[in-house]
Structure formats: C-alpha cells, structure tokens
Amino acid sequence: MLVVSSPSTASRIGHQVLGPLMDLPESQREQLLTTMSTYFAVDGSADKAGKLLFCHPNTIRYRLRRIEQLSGRSFERPLDSAELYIALQAVLRLPEVVRDPLH
C-alpha cells in the first residue's frame, strides 16, 4: 500500500534500503532482485528458490549474502527482512525507482 500510495517515499525507501545494489550493472542487479523476490515468494526457502531459478541452493545463499553485504541488512532479522521486502516491492512496482536521479 505504501508503494502505490506514495511513490516518492517508496522510491526513497528503495534506494535507502537497497543502497549499492541499485548501482550494480543491470544484469547483476536484476539477478539479485529476482533471487530476493523468489526467496520471499517461497517463504525464505533457499532450496525452493533454487528449484524455481534452476540453480543450487548454495547459489541462492551466496546471492542473499551479497544482498546483505550491499544493503547492510540481514534476512535473518525480521525488521531488516521487512525493509528489504518493502524496498523490493518499490523497485518491482515503480520502475522509476531503479533509475532514480536523486540517488
């Protein structure tokens, strides 16, 4: 609801939370965002995400660690995970977040 009701706030949240991940080359950024989206969609299962993305669960775990390093947030901490989810939704629903000139 936040994302669609306040696009400018959602954009700021997306960039504040995801930080350097948004500055990666498009292919790398998309791979990490897809991994995160899939991971959330399967309730945090690296095994299930790996099956859906046709890669080993350790590859999923590696990508999630990379997201954690770039964002400074952990999927293991509920508040951090919620922030990552909200930021992801902003990026997925508002394409302009990816190319935010204020970032």
Q: How many domains does the chain have?
A: 1
- Establish if 103 belongs to a structural domain: no
CA angle 49-93-76, nearest 5°? Answer: 40
- Establish if 39 belongs to a structural domain: yes
- Establish if 101 belongs to a structural domain: no
Least confident of 44-48, 67-71, 97-101: 97-101
pTM (global) more than 0.75: yes
Task: Write out the residue range of the structural domain in which residue 12 sits.
Answer: 2-96
The CATH number linked to 73 is 1.10.10.2840
**Tens-place pLDDT, residues 54-85:** 999 999 999 999 999 999 999 999 999 999 99
Sort 48 into a burial class: Cβ within 10 Å, 0-12 / 13-18 / 19+. middle
Alpha carbons 36 and 83: distance in angstroms, whole number: 12
Alpha carbons 18 and 21: distance in angstroms, whole number: 6
